């Protein structure tokens, strides 16, 4: 200190130096930069993309909040880092906004834009610039395509499954290459190679959309695959959803009889010159080892017919045909807004055994979607068949009757040149067990790998508690989502169905958004919901609609048009999805309004009702869980109208708000007169009826307590078993908790006997079942007509586990978790619960643990958000009073005595 005085260094300087040093250490650059939810996307088509970033979490600091930001955009990293020749500089913007910041300028097709951001915190301390990120625009308009659509030149039979076509071209690049992009799509599925190397890890491209109205193309950076001099491109095609056997009738050619390819390779040389190699009449076509491929039936692969080097330079095409060009419109081509399907987890066999029936069976230990990679050795012509199943029967034998017409079979014919590893290219199967035919002995486990494939969504949610069965239930819910989120949200992945059922999607949406980052996935699919909507506003049962013009209009299914966009707004703060989907939302309500007529009761049309509600097997005629369809239809009519009112408020559509608010008042009045007594008793007197009436706010305030008592009494009369189906189940426990009956909800959740969420777990389920009793207590199966063992709808209970057990809740007034509610409901039966959810702002954490007479609560609130924490005053039951804390970001711990 004396030396410092001698040097003239004051204490004030020391403090300033220390503070500055701390600031430099503490202020961190923004991370997780995204454009339209995606990290460094290539080939996007959004003309005003939105940019988002995260403020890094600092455990030692609280109340971190962004006060301002600055974004810079440039055409190169060098320009960006030197802040020169910028395309856009927002300069300092005083705002907390760190999600969905709209880029305001005009964008050019094919162009890459580099961007970075820096922020200022609540103390006006400036962060360093973030690491650069980028987005790249696609072709944007049909006029940017110069390539021709081409079809295989060899003949095919449109009434059967044909061999997968191969199409190729050689070309020469006579200069040094600066960059290259491949823009590609197809009728059917495609798999692209350049110079013998795969272009991408993406699977099942170009994806499944309503092909007659929207067809995606993909953009790939293929610079590293090309070379100066001679090159070759090869693309194989598969039937996929386009023309393969698909639909309930197991028909062919749903979208067309012929496969086709559109590919445009654009090369830019280091001297600035450009060259385009497009699909045209100079390409050649043939067939190869894939002799049959289909979504339902699998693939047949004959290794003797492989064409080594077919996508490399110098391959002999003497026996190949010249392709045919075809006139297919490019106007319906769109850039993808979703995420690709990719290989995700690799599983090892759990057990290899021989069944009582003498079958050679492999148990992968997990009901999954994808395929097995398997290595065989044998003589040329030896054939090995692989069949897929979800379960074994009660005798331990391979069971496939629930697959209906889907064969789920891979067949490999060996070429005899030593061990060879096989895997399909254009199909996926739902299975836990595989049956092998054609082998002389049980295979070595090391020769088999299970490959799980699904849309490449980031996992954002975790949940764990002190009850192992509940932890398995959580695993089942997430695996069910993995298996059924394969480009579209399907109902099931194994039998001859695998369609985008809208009822399942709306029921599961909140849970889906906790578990995985589903925003881009849903954005893509909602585009097809919009284009498949009928002119009268009706929404199909499935999207893309492969069931026909009359398979539309069911309430609880069509309501996905309102429920899913609103869920995305709540979970991601996405106002644009409301803007884009508002016409679809209001159109659906208008359809129901016309269907209901002047009495405002939906009593006409077809409605699935409370699908698969509980029916005791000895009381088929009694229907003890039944809810009248007109009651359910009118309830959803009211709920969708309410959501349109809320969406119109967000969008500032005052005339629409007034219109639909008036309609909602009339619906509630009609509902009251038709279905509700003065004291709150409902007709029908069912769990689902009371659940939906309360969840959708269709009862008067003085009716609600009696209604929830009727609901609780019904549950108690069933010894704490549920009787709800697809429509009532998602809301059941939440209604109970909201009304002070969390203890009853826990008894339902922890019930292990049929019907309950845990009953399938006790039967060994590793995914969610379609039916409460897919396997009956006596070990027999439900009807083969409809009995999927991977069907995510009942997994909607996951929403309650996150939002009530651990209390992580969004705030509709500050959506996207900008403001968070943390309202845990502990239970002594669980002992502890620990959950997290990665929002667009960062990871939210909530946990509690009961030890003796004390409950310890731990919370983490991410930067740039605030939260309200509500702790039960007695440590357990919030209904008996809570202590409320308003907090900023940071970590918080509370210890409460159990009373």
pLDDT tens digits, 686-707: 999 999 999 999 999 999 999 9
Around Cβ 806, how many Cβ atoms within 10 Å? 28
- Which residues on neighbouring strands pair with residue 116, listed in sequence order? 72
Q: In the chain, how many H helices and how many E strands?
A: 17, 45
Structure tokens at 885: 């804390």
CA distances from 370 to 242, 345, 455, 569 (A): 19, 10, 11, 31
Of 808, 794, 785, whose CA–CA distance to 760 is shortest? 794
- The pLDDT value given to residue 251: 76
Helix (H) or strand (E) holding 373: strand 360-376
- The pLDDT value given to residue 616: 58
Indicate if the pLDDT at residue 10 is higher than 90. Answer: no
Q: What is the pLDDT of residues 373-403, one digit of tens each?
A: 999 999 999 999 999 999 999 999 999 999 9
**pTM here?**
0.95
Confidence of residue 13 (pLDDT cuts 50, 70, 90): very low
Say how far residue 533 (Cα) sits from the centre of its chain.
21
Q: What is the pLDDT of residues 785-833, one digit of tens each?
A: 999 999 999 999 999 999 999 999 999 999 999 999 999 999 999 999 9
Around Cβ 71, how many Cβ atoms within 10 Å? 19
- The pLDDT value given to residue 268: 97
- The pLDDT value given to residue 398: 98
Structure tokens at 817: 């978790």
Helices 687-695 & 701-717 angle (0-180, nearest 10):
150
Measure the CA angle with vertex 507, ends 501 and 509; round to 5°: 95
Average pLDDT of span 861-880 = 95
Confidence of residue 781 (pLDDT cuts 50, 70, 90): very high
Q: Are 70 and 80 in contact (CB under 8 A)?
A: no
- The pLDDT value given to residue 308: 97
155 contacts: CB under 8 Å, gap ≥ 6:
none
Q: What is the pLDDT of residues 610-653, one digit of tens each?
A: 999 987 555 444 456 789 999 999 999 999 999 999 999 999 99
Dihedral sign computed on CA atoms, order 768, 773, 778, 780: negative
Confidence of residue 224 (pLDDT cuts 50, 70, 90): very high
What is the rounded distance in angstroms from the CA atom of residue 342 to the CA atom of residue 320?
31
Q: Does residue 585 sit in helix, strand or coil?
A: helix
Half-sphere exposure (Cβ direction) of 5: Cα atoms closer than 13 Å: 2
Q: Which residues are catalytic?
A: 497, 770
Confidence of residue 2 (pLDDT cuts 50, 70, 90): very low
Confidence of residue 15 (pLDDT cuts 50, 70, 90): very low
Helix (H) or strand (E) holding 546: none
What is the rounded distance in angstroms from the CA atom of residue 211 to the CA atom of residue 204?
14
- Which residues on neighbouring strands pair with residue 371, listed in sequence order? 451
Please tell me whether the peptide bond between 825 and the residue prior to it is cis, using omega within 30 degrees of 0.
no
Q: What is the pLDDT of residues 549-568, one digit of tens each?
A: 999 999 999 999 999 999 99
On average, the pLDDT of the chain sits at 94
- The pLDDT value given to residue 14: 37
Q: What is the pLDDT of residues 158-188, one digit of tens each?
A: 888 899 999 999 999 999 999 999 999 999 9
Indicate if the pLDDT at residue 782 is higher than 70. Answer: yes
Q: Does residue 507 sit in helix, strand or coil?
A: helix
How large is the C-alpha radius of gyration of the chain? 29
What is the rounded distance in angstroms from the CA atom of residue 842 to the CA atom of residue 888?
13
What is the rounded distance in angstroms from the CA atom of residue 845 to the CA atom of residue 192?
42
Bin 188: left if φ > 0, else alpha if -120 < ψ < 50, else beta: left
Please tell me whether the peptide bond between 755 and the residue prior to it is cis, using omega within 30 degrees of 0.
yes
What is the rounded distance in angstroms from the CA atom of residue 130 to the CA atom of residue 56?
11
The length of the chain in residues reads: 899
Helices 502-515 & 468-484 angle (0-180, nearest 10):
120
Q: Are 344 and 482 in contact (CB under 8 A)?
A: yes
Q: Are 781 and 402 in contact (CB under 8 A)?
A: yes
Indicate if the pLDDT at residue 712 is higher than 60. Answer: yes
- The pLDDT value given to residue 624: 62
- The pLDDT value given to residue 27: 79
Average pLDDT of span 754-769 = 97
Q: What is the pLDDT of residues 502-547, one digit of tens each?
A: 999 999 999 999 999 999 999 999 999 999 999 999 999 999 999 9
Q: What is the largest CA-CA distance in the chain?
A: 99
Q: Are 338 and 521 in contact (CB under 8 A)?
A: yes
Indicate if the pLDDT at residue 5 is higher than 90. Answer: no
């Amino acid at each position: 200190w004396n030396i410092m005085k001698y040097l003239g260094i004051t204490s004030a300087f020391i403090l300033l130096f220390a503070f500055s040093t701390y600031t430099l250490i503490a202020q961190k650059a923004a991370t997780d930069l995204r454009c339209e939810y995606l990290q460094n996307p290539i080939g996007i088509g959004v003309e005003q993309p939105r940019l988002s970033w995260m403020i890094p979490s600092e455990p030692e600091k609280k109340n971190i909040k962004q006060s301002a930001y600055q974004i810079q955009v440039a055409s190169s990293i060098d320009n960006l880092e030197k802040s020169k020749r910028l395309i856009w500089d927002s300069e300092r913007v005083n705002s907390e906004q760190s999600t969905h910041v709209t880029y305001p300028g005009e964008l050019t097709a094919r162009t890459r834009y580099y961007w970075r951001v820096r922020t200022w915190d609540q103390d006006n301390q400036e962060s360093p610039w973030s690491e650069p990120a980028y987005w790249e625009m696609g072709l944007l308009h049909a006029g940017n395509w110069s390539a021709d659509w081409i079809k295989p030149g060899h003949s095919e039979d449109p009434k059967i499954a044909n061999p997968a076509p191969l199409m190729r071209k050689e070309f020469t690049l006579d200069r040094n290459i600066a960059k290259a992009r491949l823009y590609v799509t197809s009728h059917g599925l495609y798999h692209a190679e350049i110079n013998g190397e795969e272009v991408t890890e993406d699977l099942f491209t170009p994806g499944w959309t309503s092909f007659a109205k929207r067809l995606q193309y993909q953009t790939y950076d293929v610079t590293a695959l090309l070379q100066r001099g001679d090159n070759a491109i090869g693309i194989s095609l598969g039937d996929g959803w386009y023309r393969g056997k698909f639909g309930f009738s197991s028909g062919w050619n749903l979208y067309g009889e012929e496969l086709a390819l559109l590919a445009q390779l654009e090369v830019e040389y280091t001297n600035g010159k450009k060259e385009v190699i497009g699909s045209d009449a100079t390409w050649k076509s043939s067939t190869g080892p894939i002799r049959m491929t289909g979504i339902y039936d699998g693939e047949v692969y004959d290794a003797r017919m492989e064409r080594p080097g077919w996508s490399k330079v110098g391959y002999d095409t003497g026996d190949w045909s010249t392709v045919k060009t075809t006139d297919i419109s490019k106007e319906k081509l769109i850039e993808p807004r979703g995420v690709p399907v990719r290989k995700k987890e690799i599983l090892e066999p759990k057990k290899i055994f021989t069944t009582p029936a003498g079958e050679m069976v492999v148990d992968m230990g997990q009901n999954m979607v994808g395929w097995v990679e398997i290595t065989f050795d044998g003589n040329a012509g030896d054939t090995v068949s692989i069949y897929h199943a979800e379960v074994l029967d009660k005798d331990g034998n391979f069971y496939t009757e629930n697959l209906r017409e889907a064969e789920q079979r891979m067949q490999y014919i060996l070429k005899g040149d030593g061990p060879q590893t096989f895997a399909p290219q254009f199909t996926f199967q739902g299975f836990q067990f595989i049956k092998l035919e054609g082998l002389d002995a049980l295979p070595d486990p090391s020769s088999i790998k299970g490959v799980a494939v699904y849309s490449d969504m980031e996992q954002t949610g975790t949940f764990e508690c002190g009850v192992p069965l509940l932890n398995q239930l959580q695993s089942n819910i997430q695996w069910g989502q993995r298996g059924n989120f394969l480009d579209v949200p399907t109902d099931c992945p194994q039998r001859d169905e695998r369609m985008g059922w809208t009822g399942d999607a709306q029921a599961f949406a909140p849970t889906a958004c906790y578990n995985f980052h589903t925003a881009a996935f849903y954005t893509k699919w909602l585009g097809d919901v919009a284009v498949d909507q009928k002119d009268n506003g009706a929404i199909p049962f499935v999207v893309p609609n492969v069931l026909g013009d009359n398979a539309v209009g069911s309430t609880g299914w069509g309501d996905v048009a309102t429920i899913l966009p609103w869920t995305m707004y709540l979970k991601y703060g996405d106002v644009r999805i409301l803007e884009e989907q508002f016409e679809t939302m209001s159109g659906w309500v208008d359809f129901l309004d016309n269907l209901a007529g002047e009495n405002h009761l939906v009593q006409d049309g077809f409605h699935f009702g409370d699908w698969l509600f509980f029916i005791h097997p000895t009381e088929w005629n009694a229907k003890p869980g039944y809810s009248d369809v007109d009651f359910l239809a009118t309830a959803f009519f009211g709920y969708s109208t309410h959501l349109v009112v809320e969406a119109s408020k967000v969008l500032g559509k005052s005339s629409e708000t007034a219109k639909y608010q008036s309609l909602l008042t009339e619906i509630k009045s009609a509902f009251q007169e038709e279905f509700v007594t003065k004291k709150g008793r409902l007709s029908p007197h069912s769990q689902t009826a009371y659940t939906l009436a309360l969840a959708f706010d269709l009862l008067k305030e003085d009716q609600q307590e009696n209604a929830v008592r009727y609901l609780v009494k019904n549950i108690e009369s069933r010894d704490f078993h549920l009787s709800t189906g697809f429509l009532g189940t998602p809301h059941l426990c939440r209604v109970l908790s909201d009304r002070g009956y969390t203890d009853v909800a826990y008894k339902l959740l922890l019930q292990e006997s049929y019907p309950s969420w845990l009953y399938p777990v006790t039967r060994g389920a590793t995914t969610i079942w379609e039916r409460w009793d897919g396997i009956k207590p006596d070990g027999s199966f439900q009807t083969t007509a409809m009995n999927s063992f991977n069907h995510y709808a009942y997994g909607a209970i996951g929403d309650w586990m996150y939002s009530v057990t651990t209390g992580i809740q969004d705030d509709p007034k500050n959506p996207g978790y900008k403001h968070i509610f943390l309202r845990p409901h502990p239970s002594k039966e669980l002992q502890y619960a620990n959950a997290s959810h990665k929002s667009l702002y960062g990871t939210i954490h909530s946990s509690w643990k009961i030890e003796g007479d004390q409950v310890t609560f731990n919370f983490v609130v991410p930067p740039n958000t605030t939260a309200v924490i509500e702790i039960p005053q007695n440590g357990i039951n919030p209904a008996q009073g809570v202590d409320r804390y308003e907090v900023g970001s940071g970590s918080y711990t509370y210890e409460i005595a159990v009373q």
